[in-house]
Structure 1
Amino acid sequence: MKAEALEQAQVTYTTDEAYRKSLDYFQGDDLAARVWVNKYALKDSAGTIYEGTPDDMHHRIAGEIARIEERYPNPLSETEVFELIRNFKYIIPQGSPMTGIGNPHQIASLSNCFVIGNDGDSDSYGGIMKIDQEQVQLMKRRGGVGHDLSHIRPKGSPVKNSALTSTGIVPFMERYSNSTREVAQDGRRGALMLSVAIKHPDSEDFIDAKMEQGKVTGANVSVRIDDAFMNAVASGESYQQQYPINSSNPVYQKNIDPTQLWKKIVHNAWRSAEPGILFWDTILRESVPDCYADLGYQTVSTNPCGEIPLCPYDSCRLLAINLFSYVEKPFTSEAYFNWELFKQHIHAAQRMMDDIIDLELEKIDAILEKIAEDPEREELKRTEMNLWLNIQTKAKEGRRTGIGITAEGDMLAAMGLRYGSDEGTAFAVEIHKTIALEAYRSSVITAKERGAFTIFDAKREENNPFIQRLKIADPGLYNDMIEYGRRNIALLTIAPTGTTSLMSQTSSGIEPVFMPVYKRRRKVNPNDKDARVDFVDEVGDSWEEYVVFHPRFKQWMEVNGHDLTKNYAQKELDKLVELSPYYKSTSNDVDYLKKVKMQGEIQKWIDHSISVTINMPSDVTEELVGAVYMEAWKSGCKGVTVYRDGSRSGVLISNDAPKAEETQAESQHTFSTTRPTILAADVVRFQNSKDKWIAFIGLIDGKPYEIFTGFVDDEDGILLPRWVNDGVIIKSREADGSSRYDFQYKNKRGHKTTIEGLSYKFNPEYWNYAKLISSTLRHSMPIEKVVDLINSLQLDEAINTWKNGVARALKRYVPDGTAANKQQCQNCNSTNLHYQEGCLTCKDCGSSKCG
C-alpha cells in the first residue's frame, strides 16, 4: 500500500459515522448505504472502520491495481483506474476483490469461488476427509466452494473395511453440508455446491436428499445431466447408470426408465427449487479450459451459483461491467448505446482482471506464510499447505478471469427495449458478443505485452466451438491469438450481482427488474402524533406505508416529467408502470421459454456459464417446469434453476388446505405427549457473548420434540467431542421415581458412549425453562411460534444468553419459507421476513440475519 493510502487508512469511523457519510454518497439510498458499510467498508478484526464512503474504498483498490500496472508496459495510472470504478458507474470489482484488495487487516483470498477434487484415492475415507478439510480451509478465507460426488461408490458396494459395504453418497452430502454450517461466523455462512452425475446409481438419492426436513441445509445441489439422458427422456428409451461413471468397464451398471427420474427432478425443483440442472456435455463441449484436460484442467463441478465451471483447485475472481452506464440519453426517444466507450472499458476491465490475479498471488503468498508460521505440527498443516500450493499453481498457470455484467434489465429499458422481446434479445446478444470479442482481444494484447498463460496451445483449442465462433466473427482476432497467444485460459461469466446491483442502484446481473415500484411499511412511533397511520396489525401496532421506486424507474419518472414527491394511490402506480419501458418486463412477466432461449443465445458468447433463475408464480404446473428445463437444454444453456414462488418451503410446509381424509392431528403433525423411551437427537453448538453452549434436541419424524441446553466444557458442563452431531436421548426412571435423561452416541470405533443424567449437568433454572419449552413442542406449537415465545420471555440478564441460544438452536428447524411475524428487517425496515435455513431473510432487500 502506498504511504498516502496507509495514512488514510488510519482515519477511523464509528458505524453511525460511516453510515451517515455513505448515505450522503448514495443520495439517501438507505439500503445501499447499509450494505456497503456492513459488507465492504475496510474493517479490522475488532470491527474498527477505516473507510467513510465508497470513494475511500475505490481509492484503495485503484492504488493497488495501479501498483501492479507499473510492472508492465503501457500502465494504467491510479487516476485512470479510479475513474473507471468510482461511483460503481462503469467497472465494479465484485465481492472478495472489493473487500480484500489492499486490505492489510485480513489474510484472505481475493477469489470469489473455488472447486476442489481428488484423483486416484478420492473414494477412500482419507480422500473424502481431505476434501472436507479443504472445503473448511477455503471457507474460512471467504471463498465459496464446489465439488462433485460422482467418484463416491454407490450405496451397498463392497468395501475392504469393517463396514463391509458403502453407505453411498447421501451421508457425505450431510457431512459436507454440516461443515459449511460450522465454519459460519457472525451470521455469515459459507457457500457450497454439491453435484453428482445423473449417470451415478445413487443420483436419485442425491436428488431426494434435500426433500427431508433439516437435511443438507448447508449446500446447493445440482445434477450433472448428459445428452444421452436428455435424449432418452425425449425418446422414451432406457438409460444406463454405472459406476465408475466414466469407465468403459464398470463394476456396476443398471438400466433405468429415465422418464421417472426426470419427473422426480422436475417435481423436486417445483416443490423446493432444487436440484438445479447442469447440462454437463454442453459444459464440457464448450469449455476452453477442457482443451487442457490432460494437464489438470478437466472441469468437475461449479461454484455455488453455477456461473463458473472449474477444474480441481482452480478459482476465479469476479468483476462486473455496468451496462446501464453506456446508454446515452436514457429513457428518451434519442437514447443510444455508446459502443466505442463500451469497447474501451472492456479492454480496461480485462487488463484489471489480470492485475487482480497478481494481487491474488500476493494474497496466496501471505496465506502460505501464515500457515508456515502457525505453531501447529507440520502434519496438521500439510493438507492446508498443499491446498494453497495447488491453487497457486492453477492461478499462475491458467490466469483465469471472470468478467461479467450487471444492469441488463435496466439497459434494455433505458434503450426502450422490452426484456424478453425479439428485439431486446437480439440487442442483448450483440452486447455479449461484443464483450467476448473485445475481452479476448484485450487478453491477446496483454499476452503480447506480458506473456501468454504458460500452457497456451492454439492447436489444442482449434476445434473448440467457442473459439470457432470467435474465429468466424473476427478472423483477425483469431490470427493474432495464434501468433501471440492469450494471457488468460478463460475470461467470461455472468454472475448474480445482488449487493453489487444494490450499490450500483441497478437491476441484478442478466435478470430483468424484479419490481419497478412497490410498497414498504415502517412502524409508527406511538409518541409521534403527526405520523400517518395506513395499517394496524393484529397486535395493534401502527404502520405507515410508503412507496419505494427502483432507482432507474425513478430516473425514468424524472426524465419523463412525473412527480416524485406525490403520494400515489395503487391504481396511479399501476398506470405509471404501464407507461414505462418496464411494463411486462419484470421477473414474473417475462415469458419463461423466451427467457431460456435468450439465455441460450447469450451463452454462445460466454466461455464459462450464466447464473440465472427462472422465476415462476406459485400456481405454475410441473409440466411447465419440465418444459422450461427441456427448452434450456435444446437452447444451449449450460445450467438453469427454476424458482416457483413460495417453493423454498417445499415439502417442509404447505399452504394447501389438508385433504378431507386427513385428520386434524395429521395436518398439524401433532405429537403424542407420552414420550418414547428413546428419541433420535441432534447436537447444536452455539456461542453468545463469550459463553459457549450446547443443545440436545430430541426429534420425532425429524421435528423437535424436546430441548435441553447447558454450558460446554466447563467444570460442571458437558464434555462432548466436537465431531459428535447426533445420537439418541434415552429416558429412564431413577430409584426415587424421578425422570433421568441420558445422551448416547457412537464413538469413532462404533462403540456406544453415554453421557449420564443430562439434568444433573445443567443449571436447574435452565432445566426448568427447558421443560416448559419442551412442553410447547410436544403439544405441536409451530416452531416459529415457539421461537417467538422464547424471545418474548422477560428473564434476568444472567440467563439472556441461554434464552437467545435456545431460540437460535430451534430456528434451524423452522420450515423454509415460513413468515416471521412482528419483526422488521434491520436494513430496509420491511416486515416481509421469512425463515430460510434457520436465518431470517428479507424478501424485499435480500439481507439475512442468522443470529
Structure 2
Amino acid sequence: MPVKEKKVVPQTYTQEQAFQASLNYFKGDDLAARVWVNKYALKDSDGHVYEKTPDDMHKRIAKEVARIEKKYPNPMTEDEVFDLIKNFKYIVPQGSPMAGIGNPFQVGSLSNCFVIGNDGNSDSYGGIMKIDQEQVQLMKRRGGVGHDLSHIRPKGSGVKNSALTSTGLVPFMERYSNSTREVAQDGRRGALMLSVSINHPDAEDFIDAKMEQGKVTGANVSVRIDDKFMTAVKNDTPYTQTYPIFSDNPKFSKEIQANTLWKKIVHNAWKSAEPGILFWDTVINESVPDCYADLGYKTVSTNPCGEIPLCPYDSCRLLAINLFSYVEEPFTAKAHFNYELFKKHINAAQRIMDDIIDLELEKIDKILEKINADPENEDVKAVERNLWLNIRKKAGEGRRTGIGITAEGDMLAGLGITYGSKEGIDFSVDIHKRIALATYRASVETAKERGAFGIFDAEREKNNPFILRLKEADEELYYDMLEHGRRNIALLTIAPTGTTSLMTQTSSGIEPVFLPVYKRRRKVNPNDKNSRVDFVDEVGDSWEEYVVFHQRFKEWMKINGHDTDKKYEQVELDKLIKISPYYKATSNDVDWMSKVKMQGAVQKWIDHSISVTINLPNDASEELVGKLYLEAWEAGCKGVTVYRDGSRSGVLISNEEKKTEDEDNTGDSNFPTKRPQTLTADVVRFQNNKDKWIAFIGLVDGRPYEVFTGMADDEDGILIPRWVNEGLIIKNRNEDGSSRYDFQYGNKRGYKTTIEGLSHKFNPEFWNYAKLISSTLRHGMDIDKIVDLINSLQLDSESINTWKNGVVRALKRYVADGTIANKEKCSSCSSSNLIYQEGCLTCKDCGSSKCG
C-alpha cells in the first residue's frame, strides 16, 4: 500500500505568546512588539497567529521576493534578501507589502495607495457614484485612496434632471467621507484624500467643509494651488475662477480677491490643521510621469498623506531605507556615513521594489479570480472588475515604485549634526541626491536585464526638470538611460513612517526626533507592597510613572557612559539632553522656516513628493502660518501641512460666525431645545460580542440631537435592510395624544417605508437612559463630554452596560477630529495625551489608535 503523505499543520501561537517572543526580539520595547503583533504578524480570520517574531515575517517576505528574482538574470538568493531586511536594520517594506507578501489568508493588494478618477472628467451622477464604489472596493483591500473633485460642476449650475441645479462639491465630499467611515481595514478605517483646484468656483466651500462639526470626518482635504493664484496673493491682485477649471471658454467664471480666499485657507489651517496645500504647478512641472500625460499618466490627485501624486488607477508600494544603520561608530568623534554600503543597498532595494510589483500583479490576479467566482450578478461585479483591470494595466505598464527613508533625525544625531542647522540641511540634501542618483542608476541597470517600462520614451522626458537635474549631476547615468531605458516610470518618495519607525526604533521619516525622553505610566495594584504609586487618577486607579528613552538616545547614553537603568530626576534628564546631539533638535525646537527650506531643497531630488508636517506651538499666529506657506511655495515644495498644537479641539462649533472668541464653548446657544418635527438621521450598526445592535442618531445641522439604540435582530428589536444608512425621524402623536418617534427611509425606486414608534421598539430601560442622553445632546453639550458622561454611568445589568457601550461607539463618530479625550488612557503607553481622530482615540505620544 502506498504510504499516505502526512499533512503538515502550520505552527500557531496565541497573541500573548507572539507578544512575549516579540518583546524579547525588540529588547523590551513593548510598543514596538505590540504594533508588530497587532498589525503585521501573519494571522487568519479566526485569530490564529502564524508568526512568533518579525524573523518569521522577514523569512516569509524573503522567500517570496527570491521566488520572483529567479525569473530574471543574476537573481538574489533568499538568504541575501533576508539579510537586507532582517531586524528592520537596512531595508524595510512598509505597510501593505509587509502585511501582504506571502499572506495566504487575505485577498488583498500590496499597494499602499491609489488614486482614482473618470476618463473625460465626467461629472454625471453615474460617474460620481462609480468613483464612490471604486473607493470602497479599494479600501476593503487595505488601500488608501485619493481623488480630485475639480470636475464636479459648481453649486447652482444647471443640470438636466429633476433637481434643475447642481448641489456643488460639499454633498459629494460628505458622501465620499461617509463611505470611508463604513469600511473597516483590520481594526482601522480606510484613508481618503479629497482635493480640488483653487480655480474651481466652489473652492471656498471645499475649504470650509471640515470646519463644521460632524462633516467630512472621514477624509483629509487639500487644495491644488497654481502659481497664478500665488502670484495674485503676493501682489494682492484679483484671480478668476472658472468651470471647467482653467478653461479658455468656461461655462461659468467669477473674479475673486486672491488674498481674501488665501486668508481663509490660512485661518482654517491655523484653526484645524486643514486644508493642506498642494502647489500644483510645481507637482505637474516636476513630474516625470506627466511626460506621458496623453497616454493616461496625467497626475490628478495624491494619496491620503500627500507623498505620492498619481494619475487615475495608478498605485504605489512603499519601502524605507533606515538611514541610521549607515552611520558607523555613531555618537562618537569617529562617526561617519558608510556611503559604499548605502549605495549597494539602494541598488538592492530598487530590485526588491521591482519584484514587489510582480508580486502585486499576482495579488491583483487573485482579486480578479475572486471577483469572477463571486455569486453576484455580472452587472454588480462589473465596476469592481474593471477597476482592478485598470489598476493592473497601470502597475504593469509604468511599474511605479516608492523608495523612501526613515531615521533622518537619528542619522544626523548619530553624526553629531544638529537637525535644522545649515550643516544639517546640506548633509540631508546630499544624502537625498545620492539616493536619487543610485535609485535611477539601479532602475537603468534593472532595465538592462528585465526591460524598460512599457512606454518609456527618452524624447518625451528630455525637458523634464528632474531628469535634467540627474543629467547635470551624472551624465553617464543620463546617457545610459537614453540607451537602455529605465525599468520604472517614477521611483522616489518620503512617506510618513509611523509604525515602521516604531519597529526600526528610530525617528520617523524625514522628521526630527519628537522627544528624546518622555514619561509613561503603568497601572499598579496599590495592595502590592513592592509597587510604587506615583499618581492616582480621577477614578481612583493607581499608576507608576517611569521614564522612557528614545532608543537611539539610549544608545547615545550607553556609548557615552551614562547609566540607562538609573532613576533620573527631571533636572538630571534636562542636563543629559543638553549635552546630547538631540539638544535643540526635536520637533518643537527646529526653526520652522529652516524646516520648510530643507523640505524644498530635498524635494529637488524626490520625483514624487514628501509627507511632512510643520509642528507649531499653540500660540503661533495666523500670520506665521501664512508666511510658512509662502516660503514653502517659493522654496519649491510640492505640498505642505501645518499643525498648531491643540488646534483641532476648536472645530466643534457648528455655527462659528455666531460665536465670538470670548464666548464659552461648552454649549451652543443656537442649538434648538424645542425639537423640530422632522430630523435627518444616521443609522449606525455595530456588534457587541455576538449581538447585533443598531442606533438611530437624529441630527440637527449634522450634529447629534437624539439617540435611539437597541438590538437589531431579536424579537423586541428592529430589522431594516442593510443598505439603509440614513433616513428621517419624525415626531408624531398616538391616538391617546402621547408622542411617538417614527423612522422613515426610501428605497432606490422612491418608495418610502415608515417604522412606527422607535421609542417602543427597544427595551424600556434603554429608552429611559436614551431620554437622558438626548436631553444633554439637545442642550448643546459637547459630544466628547457626553461620551465621558455615559462612560462614567455605574449600571448594574449586563444588557444595559452593553447598550451603554453601543451608545458610546455610535456617538464617538461625531466627535470632531483633534478633540482631546479627558478621561481616557492609552492602552499601549498609558499616556493621557489622547485625541479623537475619525471617531477613534489616538495617542499623540505613541501613535497607537483604538476604535470604540
So what's the TM-score if we normalise by structure 2?
A: 0.96
Per the alignment, residue 825 of structure 2 pairs with 824
- Describe the superposition over 1:295-348 as per-residue Cα deviations: whole angstroms up to 9, x where unpaired: 000000000000000000000000000000000000111100000000000000
User: Displacement, 1:768?
Assistant: 2.5
How far apart, in 1, do the equivalents of 2:482 and 2:590 lie? Answer: 42
Q: Residue by residue, what CA displacement relative to the aligned partner does 1:188-240 show, whole Å, maximum 9, x if unpaired?
A: 10000000000000110000000000000000000000000000100111111
Secondary structure of the residue aligned to 2:744 is strand
Aligned to 1:703: 703
Give the drift of 1:568. Answer: 1.2
Shift of 1:673: 4.9
**Residues 374-432 of structure 1: per-residue CA shift (max 9 Å, x gap):** 11111110010000000000011000000000000000000110111000000000100
Residues 321 and 160 of structure 1: is their aligned pair in 2 closer, same or farther, counting only changes over 3 Å? Answer: same
Q: Can you list the C-alpha shifts for 1:75-117, whole angstroms capped at 9, x where unaligned?
A: 1111110000000000000000000001111110000000000
Amino acid at match of 1:216: V
CA gap 1:672/1:609 in 2 versus in 1, 3 angstroms: closer
Q: 1:295 is matched with which residue?
A: 295
Hey, what's the Cα distance between the residues in 2 that align with 1:69 and 1:409?
Answer: 33
Alpha carbons 1:147, 1:194 under 8 Å: kept: yes
CA distance in 1, matches of 2:404, 2:115: 19
Given that 1:9 and 1:51 are in contact with CA atoms closer than 8 Å, whether structure 2 keeps it comes out as: no
Q: 1:460-499, aligned counterparts within 5 Å?
A: 460-499=460-499
Asked whether 1:846 is paired with 2:847, we answer yes
What is the rounded CA distance, in whole Å, between the counterparts of 1:653 and 1:121 in structure 2?
35
Q: Secondary structure at the match of 1:563?
A: coil
Look up the equivalent residue of 1:259 and give its one-letter code.
N
What CA deviation, in whole Å up to 9, does each residue of 1:32-86 have, x standing for no partner?
0000000000001111100000000000000110111111111111111000000
Structure 1 counterpart of 2:413, which letter? A
| TM-score normalised by L of structure 1 | 0.96
**What is the distance in 2 between the residues matched to 1:549 and 1:316?**
34
What value does the CA root-mean-square deviation take over the aligned residues?
2.1
Count of aligned positions: 844
Q: Aligned partner of 1:463: which letter?
A: N
| Mapped pair 1:393 → 2:393 | yes
**Aligned counterpart, 1:320:** 320
Structure 1 residues 749 and 207 mapped into 2: Cα distance closer, same or farther (>3 Å)? farther
CA contact (8 A) 1:108 1:141 kept: yes
Partner letter of residue 478 of structure 2?
A: Y
Q: Does structure 2 conserve the Cα–Cα contact (< 8 Å) formed by 1:96 and 1:112? A: yes
For residues 160 and 102 of structure 1, the distance between their equivalents in structure 2, rounded to whole angstroms, comes to: 50
State whether structure 2 residue 617 is matched by structure 1 residue 599. no
| SS of the residue 2:184 aligns to | coil
Go from structure 1 to structure 2 and tell me whether the alpha carbon gap of 1:164 and 1:716 turns closer, same or farther (over 3 Å shift).
farther
- Partner Cα separation in structure 1 for residue 664 and residue 831 of structure 2: 34
Q: Which residue of 2 aligns with 1:3?
A: none
Contact (CA 8 Å) 1:456, 1:485: kept in 2 or not?
yes
- Whole-Å separation in 1 of the counterparts to 2:661 and 2:786: 28
How do 1:169-318 residues align onto structure 2 when only pairs under 5 Å count?
169-185=169-185, 187-318=187-318
The answer for the alignment partner of 2:684 in structure 1 is 684
Is 1:416 the counterpart of 2:408 in the alignment? Answer: no
Corresponding residue number in structure 2 for 1:78: 78
Please report how far the alpha carbon of residue 710 of structure 1 lies from its aligned counterpart in structure 2 after TM superposition. 2.9
SS in 2 for 1:652: coil
Check whether the contact 2:121–2:151 (CA below 8 A) recurs between aligned residues: no
* Structure 2 CA distance for partners of 1:454 and 1:8, relative to 1, 3 Å: farther
Residues 1:339 and 1:489: Cα distance change in structure 2 (over 3 Å): same
CA distance in 1, matches of 2:664, 2:227: 47
Alignment partners' CA distance in 2, 1:815 and 1:149:
23
Letter matched to residue 622 of structure 2: E
* Equivalences for residues 242-641 of structure 1 within 5 A: 242-641=242-641
SS of equivalent residue, structure 1 residue 471: helix
Which residue does 1:804 correspond to in 2? Answer: 805
Q: Distance in 1 between matches of 2:842 and 2:342?
A: 36
> Which segment is superposed worse, 48-57 or 793-802?
793-802
Cα deviation, 1:254-289, whole Å, max 9, x if unaligned, reads 111000000000000000000000000000000000
Alpha-carbon distance in 2 for matches of 1:213, 1:636: 34
1:474-520 alpha-carbon deviations (Å, 9 max, x no partner): 00000000000000000000000000000000000000001111112
* Paired AA for residue 643 in structure 1: Y
Structure 2 CA distance for partners of 1:803 and 1:239, relative to 1, 3 Å: same
Q: Which amino acid aligns with 2:613?
A: T
Letter in 2 for 1:499: T
8 A Cα contact 2:116 2:147, kept in partner: yes
Q: Distance in 2 between matches of 1:394 and 1:664?
A: 53
Inter-partner Cα distance in structure 2 for 1:362 and 1:563:
51
Pick closer, same or farther for the CA change 1:723–1:257 going to 2, 3 Å: farther
Whole-angstrom CA distance in 2 between matches of 1:176 and 1:332: 52
Alpha-carbon distance between aligned partners in 1 of 2:493 and 2:117, rounded to the nearest angstrom: 22
CA contact (8 A) 1:9 1:50 kept: no
Deviations 1:447-497 (A, max 9, x none): 000000010000000000000000000000000000000000000000000
Bigger drift between 516-525 and 167-176 goes to 516-525
Does the 8 A contact of 1:410 with 1:507 survive in 2? yes
1:35 alignment counterpart: 35
State how far apart, in whole Å, the 2-side matches of 1:190 and 1:222 are.
17
How far apart in 2 are the matches of 1:479 and 1:790?
A: 68
Distance 1:319 1:7 in 2: 36
CA distance in 1, matches of 2:57, 2:117: 35
User: 1:653, 1:815 within 8 Å by CA — same for their partners in 2?
Assistant: no
Paired residue secondary structure (1:553): helix
Cα distance between partner residues in 2 of 1:697 and 1:737: 24
Residues 653, 668 of structure 2: 8 Å contact kept: no
1:272 is aligned with what amino acid? Answer: S
For 1:668 and 1:151, locate their aligned partners in 2 and report how far apart those are by CA, in whole Å.
Answer: 36
Distance in 2 separating the partners of 1:359 and 1:838: 34
Q: Is the 8 A contact 1:306 1:639 kept in 2?
A: yes
Following the alignment from structure 1 to structure 2, what is the Cα–Cα distance between the partners of residues 639 and 372? 40
User: What is the CA distance between 1:757 and its match in structure 2?
Assistant: 1.7
Query: Distance between the aligned counterparts of 1:319 and 1:360, measured in 2?
Result: 14
Deviations along 1:672-728, whole A, 9 cap, x unmatched?
Answer: 654343334333222222333221222345433321123335665434454544443
SS of structure 2 residue aligned to 1:120: helix
2:41 touches 2:54 (CA, 8 Å); kept in 1?
yes
8 Å CA contact retained: 1:613, 1:641 = yes
How far the C-alpha of 1:744 sits from its partner, in A, is 3.5
Q: Name the residue aligned to 1:19.
A: 19
796-805 or 448-457: bigger deviation: 796-805
> Is 461-470 or 119-128 further displaced after alignment?
119-128
| Distance (Å, rounded) in 1 between the aligned partners of 2:263 and 2:187 | 36
Q: 1:275 to 1:24 in 2, by over 3 A?
A: same
Structure-1 residue corresponding to 2:3:
none
**Greater displacement, 778-787 / 189-198:** 778-787
- Label 1:660 to 1:117 Cα distance change in 2 as closer, same or farther (>3 A): closer
Once the 2 structures are TM-superposed, how far is the Cα of residue 184 of structure 1 from its aligned partner? 1.8
Of all paired residues, the percent bearing the same amino acid is: 77
Contact 1:212 1:652 in 2 (8 A): yes
Structure 2, unmatched stretches of 5+, are 1-5
Unpaired stretches in structure 1, ≥5 consecutive residues: 1-5
Are 1:242 and 1:252, in contact at CA under 8 Å, matched by a contact in 2? Answer: yes
Aligned to 1:102: 102
Report the Cα distance in structure 2 between the residues aligned to 1:711 and 1:775, rounded to whole angstroms. Answer: 22
Question: What one-letter code is carried by the residue in structure 2 that aligns with 1:801?
Answer: T
Counterpart CA distance in 2 for 1:481 and 1:503 is 36
CA drift at 1:550: 0.5
